[in-house]
């Protein structure tokens, strides 16, 4: 409790001193640029940033409140009391000083290091990558933070299958970083193709590979009133070892199996030296989403409607799981500068995963239910990386709750709905944010929870530039969990961060 009291005192002092702190310092820039409005250009800029941050977390329980650790790229432990030291650098540099050619070739690189002092202290490397780009076409090797899909990554619950909840996965990736015009002022696309390696030794499997690709299109003028978005994100865990439904413990591996991995086609008995399970099912654990968006750009507000459809089996093909998906709307306000208090962006979401195509799974016909999201009969430790879910954090690992176990699967709670709101704005020269979530949890079809459990999780944060250390950012936040699924917890966080540009 001493850590909690210290953080509480400092945050009270910080909030109480807001009117008088560093009046001449400009409002804090948004750390992650909003990508709701896409630019109609391949232009890239040269530059770099570095940072050092010290953060402390305190909790009234032995666990960290949900929104302190969820969607934080796996760097915040779940163990309650934490002291964290972080440092990193990211940059893009042109390969030529010639003004006519400098926008063609560039190199990118980045690294981030995190040391956590907690119940189980760890040293992490969330990012370590390098790459080369020709305009917007980029080859990247290593571990890098990357958001995929149509949604509000900052204020929402996170993309269904790739939310930023786990450490970035090391891979080789080739693709277009920004939208590229096929028909100028009308048709644009971007996408990527990648292969990587998952954690070597997992609770059940080992030596798994990752295949991941995505393609997204946009219709409409970049500065027009209406834009339509569409795309997909597809990932496969494959090629490792598993004690379930394999031939001598080895999952299908090698280039002759790779075609079935990237296409999702079933071998239909054509492969040798694989189990009957692999010869009649898709190779590996496939997770995908089919995304759609409608963007309206008005004089005073930008509005984005988005929908992510869930694909883990044939249920969507037969339209059995249409109820399931992530639905959202984001309002980005314009012309809010100069106000003492403002709401600059609001996001509202509904996540629903309870249908899963129904409670029955019968292959060979239109009854394709019991999708059992983020679990897999062969990859039993599921859609996870170092114990954390890669997708939405509301499909929780068994290790993060105390409810009945579901054999050795990754999650015992994938039938949920979540109502969520996220907001951010300015108060004076400070920025404030909030995320409030109410969920209903029912476990899985095979192992239900004792009853339908409701859970509230919320966070409110405040950050401000100060003159300390030649210019720094201080941030304070309070977070709480109350309900039936998690133990109740109240927590405080305080951090100071020094940013450098070069």
pLDDT tens-digit readout, 395-426: 999 999 999 999 999 999 999 999 999 999 99
Same domain, 145 and 114: yes
Kindly state the DSSP code that residue 8 receives in the 8-state scheme. Answer: H
> How confident is the model at residue 98, as a pLDDT?
67
Q: What is the 3-state secondary structure (H, E, C) of 330-362?
A: EEEECCCCCCCEEEEEEEEEEEECCCCCCCCEC
> How confident is the model at residue 38, as a pLDDT?
34
Same domain, 143 and 262: no
**Parts of the chain with a pLDDT under 70:** 1-44, 98-103, 314-318, 361-368
Question: Could you tell me the CATH number of the domain that includes residue 341?
Answer: 2.40.160.130
Given a contact cutoff of 8 angstroms between Cβ atoms, the answer to whether 423 and 155 are in contact is yes
- ∠204-116-385 over CA atoms, to 5°? 25
Half-sphere exposure of 60 (CA within 13 A, CB side): 11
Boundary residue ending a domain (254, 282, 310): 282
> Dihedrals φ, ψ of 267, to 5°?
-65, -30
Same domain, 56 and 119: yes
Given a contact cutoff of 8 angstroms between Cβ atoms, the answer to whether 108 and 91 are in contact is yes
Same domain, 160 and 209: yes
Same domain, 391 and 415: yes
| Distance from C-alpha of 228 to C-alpha of 11, rounded to nearest angstrom | 43
CA-wise closest residue to 435 among 144, 72, 97: 72
Same domain, 465 and 383: yes
Instruction: Give pLDDT tens digits for 83-139.
Output: 999 999 999 999 877 656 656 899 999 999 999 999 889 999 999 999 999 989 999
| Distance from C-alpha of 388 to C-alpha of 71, rounded to nearest angstrom | 10
| Distance from C-alpha of 109 to C-alpha of 436, rounded to nearest angstrom | 35
| Distance from C-alpha of 428 to C-alpha of 390, rounded to nearest angstrom | 37
| Distance from C-alpha of 181 to C-alpha of 413, rounded to nearest angstrom | 42
| Distance from C-alpha of 106 to C-alpha of 89, rounded to nearest angstrom | 17
First to last CA, the chain: 41
> Dihedrals φ, ψ of 178, to 5°?
-120, 165
- 268 CB-near residues (< 8 Å, 6+ apart): 279, 280
What is the span of the domain harbouring residue 278?
Answer: 240-282
> How confident is the model at residue 166, as a pLDDT?
97
Same domain, 494 and 392: yes
Same domain, 405 and 309: yes
* Distance (Å) of CA 40 to CA 67, 180, 331: 34, 8, 21
Same domain, 254 and 393: no
List the structure tokens of 159.
Answer: 């993309």
The SS3 of residue 90 is strand
Same domain, 297 and 394: yes
Q: Which residues of 54-75 are buried (b: 16+ CB within 10 A; e: fewer)?
A: ebbbbbbeebbbbbbbbbbbbb
Q: Considering its fold, how many domains does the chain have in total? A: 2
> How confident is the model at residue 319, as a pLDDT?
72
Same domain, 265 and 213: no
Same domain, 254 and 363: no
């Amino acid at each position: 409790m001493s850590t909690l009291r210290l953080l509480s005192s400092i945050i009270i002092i910080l909030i109480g001193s807001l009117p008088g702190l560093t009046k001449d310092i400009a409002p804090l820039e948004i750390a992650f640029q909003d990508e709701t409005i896409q630019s109609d250009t391949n232009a890239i800029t040269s530059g770099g940033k570095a940072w050092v941050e010290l953060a402390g977390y305190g909790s009234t329980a032995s666990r960290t409140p949900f929104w302190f650790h969820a969607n934080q790229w796996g760097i915040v432990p779940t163990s309650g009391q934490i002291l964290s030291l972080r440092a990193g650098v990211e940059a893009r540099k042109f390969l030529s000083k010639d003004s006519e050619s400098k926008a063609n070739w560039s190199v990118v690189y980045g690294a981030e290091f995190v040391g956590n002092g907690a119940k189980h202290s760890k040293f992490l490397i969330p990012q370590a990558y390098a790459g080369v780009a020709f305009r917007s076409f980029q080859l990247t090797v290593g571990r890098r933070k990357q958001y995929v899909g149509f949604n509000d990554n900052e204020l929402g619950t996170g993309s269904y299958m790739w939310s930023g909840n786990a450490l970035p996965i090391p891979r080789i990736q080739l693709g277009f970083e920004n939208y590229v015009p096929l028909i100028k002022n009308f048709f644009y696309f971007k996408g990527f193709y990648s292969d990587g390696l998952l954690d070597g030794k997992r609770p059940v499997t080992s030596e798994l590979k990752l295949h991941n690709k995505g393609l997204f299109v946009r219709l409409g003028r970049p500065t027009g009133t209406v834009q339509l978005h569409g795309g997909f994100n597809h990932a496969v865990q494959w090629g490792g070892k598993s004690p379930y439904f394999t031939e001598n413990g080895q999952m299908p591996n090698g280039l002759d199996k790779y075609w079935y991995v990237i296409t999702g086609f079933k071998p239909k008995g054509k492969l040798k030296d694989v189990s009957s399970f692999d010869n009649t099912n898709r190779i590996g654990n496939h997770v995908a989403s089919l995304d759609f968006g409608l963007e309206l750009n008005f004089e005073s507000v930008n509005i984005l409607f988005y929908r992510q459809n869930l694909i883990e089996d044939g249920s969507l093909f037969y339209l059995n799981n249409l109820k399931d998906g992530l639905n959202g709307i984001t309002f980005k306000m314009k012309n809010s500068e100069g106000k003492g208090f403002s709401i600059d962006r609001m996001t509202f979401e509904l996540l629903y995963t309870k249908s899963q195509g129904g409670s029955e799974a019968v292959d060979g016909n239109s009854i394709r239910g019991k999708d059992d999201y983020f679990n897999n009969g062969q990859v039993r430790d599921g859609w996870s990386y170092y114990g954390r879910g890669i997708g939405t954090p509301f499909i929780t690992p068994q290790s993060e709750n105390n409810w009945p176990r579901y054999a050795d699967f990754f999650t015992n709670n994938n039938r949920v709905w979540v109502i969520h709101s996220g907001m951010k704005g300015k108060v004076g020269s400070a920025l404030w944010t909030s995320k409030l979530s109410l969920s209903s949890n029912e476990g899985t079809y095979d192992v239900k929870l004792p009853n339908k459990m409701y859970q509230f999780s919320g966070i409110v944060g405040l950050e401000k530039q100060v003159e300390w250390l030649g210019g720094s950012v201080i941030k304070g936040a309070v977070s709480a969990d109350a309900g039936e699924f998690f133990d109740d917890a109240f927590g405080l966080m305080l951090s100071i961060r020094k940013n450098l540009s070069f």
